[in-house]
Structure 1
Amino acid sequence: MSVQIQAEIDNMRKQLHVDFIGIALSKVNEGTNSRTIHWAYVSGNTNENYRRIHLQVGKGIAGIVWRTGRSYQASELQRNPKNLLELPIARMEKLETAVAAPILKNGRVQGVLLFGSRTPNVMEMDQLKSVEDKAEELIPLLEE
């Protein structure tokens, strides 16, 4: 675990006044040769349940962003039971609002940065842009 990445997302969470930040990365299972996505770095977590989340590309918030290479945002996540089944990080961390952006290098997704709030609020375009900008700032740290 990179101490520098952890320190960076801890600082981001405090500066941007969000409840939760996570970075999802992928790894290939040697035995099955399948790619899974997991939450490698988190800040503001309420428990350790995020460690049990292993997603396929296209599933969950991180999987959707990974597959599409595009940002994702959703609100009122706790009010919709379907969201809670399909978005395990929202369920486990009790997130009401989530904004996620791909961490891209040379047009390929290297990771997913997620900002979450436990209180209902409407994400503004500048918040989405902020997450995208922060995702870009993380590229050099993930390369180390």
Structure 2
Amino acid sequence: MTELRELPAIIEVCEKLKTAAACEFVGLALQNETGPDVRWHYASGNLNDKYKRITVRFGKGIAGKIISSGSKMMISDFPNQIFGKVTDYPIMLAEKLISSYAVPLFFNYVPKGVLLVGNRESHVFSEEVQQMVDDSALVLEQLLKEQIFR
């Protein structure tokens, strides 16, 4: 798979979203081409490179839960208000995120990726910001179809 960090169009969408949504972190995770595991492929505003080493099982972590359910998720005050253990949220821990909003990316009507925005303080993402993330997810789906999922 082409490294997403090397695709300027994808970087541009993520950087524009980070600025427009006034968030501190944007991450993009994709399910592996073989097997159910999910990996974070791109991050902007990251504190370190730990995201590159995070792999979660289908149904685990924010990325795995969103891909398995196909639904959006907002966390406004991590680690409060979460289901399961704190260690079930490695991207939140690695990036010291307190709030996040994440949406699925669909390929052929199947959720295969996740776009996540986050902040390092307690925050509720407005409907306007949620719409920006949703819109960016649609753009990324199209770009990824052209670049990766041909």
Normalising to structure 1: TM-score of the pair? 0.87
Q: How does 1:76-91 map to 2 (within 5 A)?
A: 76-79=77-80, 84-91=86-93
User: Residue 15 of structure 1: which of 14, 17, 20 is its match?
Assistant: 20
| Paired position in structure 2 for 1:117 | 119
Q: How does 1:1-144 map to 2 (within 5 A)?
A: 1=3, 2-29=7-34, 34-79=35-80, 84-143=86-145, 144=147
Count of paired positions? 140
* One-letter amino acid of the structure 2 residue matched with residue 6 of structure 1: I
Instruction: Using the TM superposition, give the Cα deviation of residue 28 of structure 1 relative to its aligned residue in structure 2, in angstroms.
Output: 4.2
* One-letter amino acid of the structure 2 residue matched with residue 39 of structure 1: W
Instruction: Using the TM superposition, give the Cα deviation of residue 85 of structure 1 relative to its aligned residue in structure 2, in angstroms.
Output: 1.0
More divergent stretch after superposition (18-27 vs 2-11): 2-11
RMSD of aligned Cα (Å): 1.9
- Is the Cα contact below 8 Å between 1:102 and 1:135 reproduced in 2? yes
- Is the Cα contact below 8 Å between 1:20 and 1:116 reproduced in 2? yes
* One-letter amino acid of the structure 2 residue matched with residue 104 of structure 1: F
How far does the alpha carbon of each residue in 1:92-130 deviate from its partner, in whole angstroms, 9 at most, with x for none? 101110100011233211311001011111223333232
> Unpaired runs of 5+ in structure 2?
none
How far does the alpha carbon of each residue in 1:30-49 deviate from its partner, in whole angstroms, 9 at most, with x for none? xxxx3210001110000011
Q: Aligned partners of 2:129, 2:13: CA distance in 1, in Å?
A: 18
Instruction: Using the TM superposition, give the Cα deviation of residue 12 of structure 1 relative to its aligned residue in structure 2, in angstroms.
Output: 1.6
Normalising to structure 2: TM-score of the pair? 0.84
- Is the Cα contact below 8 Å between 1:23 and 1:111 reproduced in 2? yes
Q: Aligned partners of 1:46, 1:109: CA distance in 2, in Å?
A: 27
3-state SS, counterpart of residue 120 of structure 1: coil
Instruction: Using the TM superposition, give the Cα deviation of residue 7 of structure 1 relative to its aligned residue in structure 2, in angstroms.
Output: 2.5
Q: Aligned partners of 2:126, 2:16: CA distance in 1, in Å?
A: 21
1:44–1:27 distance in 2 versus 1, CA, 3 Å = same
Identity of paired residues, percent? 31
How far does the alpha carbon of each residue in 1:64-84 deviate from its partner, in whole angstroms, 9 at most, with x for none? 100000111112114579553
- Is the Cα contact below 8 Å between 2:17 and 2:133 reproduced in 1? no
- Is the Cα contact below 8 Å between 2:101 and 2:118 reproduced in 1? yes
Q: Aligned partners of 1:35, 1:16: CA distance in 2, in Å?
A: 30
